[in-house]
Amino acid sequence: MESLKDLWEQVCDKIKEEITSVMYNVWFDILEPVDFNGEILTLSVPTDFQRGIVEKNWMRLLDESVAHIIGYNCKINIVVKEEEKPEVKPVPLMNQFTFETFVVGPSNRFCHAAAKSVAENPGGKYNPLFIYGNPGLGKTHILNAIYNYVKDHSPHINIVLVRGEQFANEIIEAIHNHSTTVIRDKYRQADFLCIDDIHFIAGKQSTQEEFFNTFNVLYQDGKQIVVTSDRPPRDIQALEERIQSRLESGLLADLSPPDFETKVAVIYSKAELLGITVPENVAYFIADQIKNNFRQIEGIVKKLFAFQQITGEEPNIMLAQKAISEIRSDDATPVTIDKILMEVARTYNITREDILSKKQSKEISYARQVAIYVIREITNMPLLNIGKEVGGKDHATISYSLKKINQILDTNPKERATVNDIIKNINSL
């Protein structure tokens, strides 16, 4: 068996010369040598799906690599491990977000390694860890992979995972209900705090104050902090400078757009989770059409899975085209007035109902005027229609509000940054 192991290691070295490390890790790392009698080399894989992909796409490379090492052609037999042969079923969403299901390529290797390091050694040299990148590149996957790893390997650690939007909502609600102590205990007693989309706290004074104090308490106690955003700290407008400084004091890891081969590997990985086979030409077509968004790729594979379940039709180019057009159509869903009102309310620590009410306090009136401005900027809705959306205000009131906010934004860079961030957050919801 030792000689078989040596033979297989030489074959693998030869294969690595022919393909990228990404493709090797996805489709050859899973192979294990079982037997070689001089005429037949038997290799095992964990699942039927993987056997099908290897036999369809990689047998020629296997044949040539083995022949190069042993000096003659032999038959290669791929078998499935008996103990791992049960029917493949889609796993729950949270369980999909692991380090094992995160496809590593040149664009995300550093970030993946940093995340794995903090999961294995919380409070170590990478604290805080700040992960950033455009939407759809895997930030949420990485953060949940950290969470799942810690839960599985260190159950004694109190790890808390929350979205920036939820964190802000909890702080606002606690202030209104006079229950800030409960929220402080929840986050300051954490051993490991993960916040997804930290940019949602920008411009929200009370929320930033609470995050700043929580950060200090955890950091001084040697607790691990990991946050994500769609941009680096210095580019988060309306984020307090003291918070920006603390976030930049640790390790910044960016997720860059993936290369073609990584996208193909992601397609195969998502297909395996669902138990379907995506032909090579279909995978290449999807990877070519979707430039830099893993979330869209996952959505397309799920649609192919749904087509197969409903119609029995195997994934093909025509179905892929249909799935891609539907995904792009989904992305074009317009922003709703309710989303705008909710984001403005969160920013100014009031409620959506306050904006729609007849209350005339300075804080509520100003937030209402900002909401009017943002609605106009995003939707270009007629002024009369905007008035109906914000509590039945007349044309003159809407016009006055727009004029006032424009004047403030022209002379107040800080408030301009806050309003710009509101618009950016709404567009990313």
Confidence class of residue 238 from pLDDT cuts 50, 70 and 90? Answer: confident
pLDDT of residue 89: 39
Q: Using the predicted structure, report yes or no on whether residue 100 has a pLDDT greater than 50.
A: yes
pLDDT of residue 2: 52
* Mean pLDDT of the 13-35 span: 84
Of 149-158, 170-179, 315-324, the range with the highest mean pLDDT is 149-158
Decide: helix, strand or coil at residue 159: strand
Confidence class of residue 234 from pLDDT cuts 50, 70 and 90? Answer: confident
Q: What are the tens digits of pLDDT across the range 383-392? A: 888 988 898 8
Q: Using the predicted structure, report yes or no on whether residue 189 has a pLDDT greater than 60.
A: yes
CATH architecture of 260-331: Orthogonal Bundle (1.10)
What is the separation, in whole angstroms, between the first and last Cα of the chain? Answer: 56
Q: Using the predicted structure, report yes or no on whether residue 88 has a pLDDT greater than 50.
A: no
pLDDT of residue 93: 40
CATH 3.40.50.2300 fits 337-428, yes or no: no
Q: What are the tens digits of pLDDT across the range 65-86? A: 998 888 888 999 999 876 443 3
> What value does the mean pLDDT of the chain take?
86
Q: What are the tens digits of pLDDT across the range 202-212? A: 888 888 999 99
CATH architecture of 96-255: 3-Layer(aba) Sandwich (3.40)
The span from the CA of 247 to the CA of 139, in Å, is 16
Give the lowest-confidence range in 17-26, 68-77, 227-236, 314-323. Answer: 17-26
Q: Answer whether 174's CB lies under 8 Å from 183's CB.
A: yes
Q: What are the tens digits of pLDDT across the range 369-381? A: 999 999 988 887 8
Exposed, middle or buried by CB within 10 Å (0-12, 13-18, 19+), for 408?
A: middle
pLDDT of residue 92: 40
pLDDT of residue 295: 84
Bigger pLDDT: 314 vs 26:
314
pLDDT of residue 289: 87
pLDDT of residue 331: 52
pLDDT of residue 156: 93
User: What is the CATH number assigned to the segment(s) 2-84?
Assistant: 3.30.300.180
* DSSP letters for 208-269: HHHHHHHHHHHHHTT-EEEEEESS-GGG-TT--HHHHHHHTTSEEEEEPPPPHHHHHHHHHH
Q: What are the tens digits of pLDDT across the range 335-350? A: 788 889 988 988 888 8
Q: Using the predicted structure, report yes or no on whether residue 148 has a pLDDT greater than 80.
A: yes
Domains 2-84 and 337-428 share a fold: no
pLDDT of residue 330: 52
Q: Give the residue extent of every domain in the chain.
A: 2-84, 96-255, 260-331, 337-428
Confidence class of residue 402 from pLDDT cuts 50, 70 and 90? Answer: very high
pTM confidence score: 0.61
Spatial strand order of the sheet with 75-80 comes to 32-36, 40-45, 75-80
Give the lowest-confidence range in 25-29, 42-46, 144-148, 236-240. Answer: 25-29
**Type and span of the H or E element at 329:** helix 317-331
* Mean pLDDT of the 273-284 span: 89
* DSSP letters for 57-104: HTHHHHHHHHHHHHSS--EEEEEE-GGG-SPP-PPPHHHH-SSTTS--
pLDDT of residue 361: 92
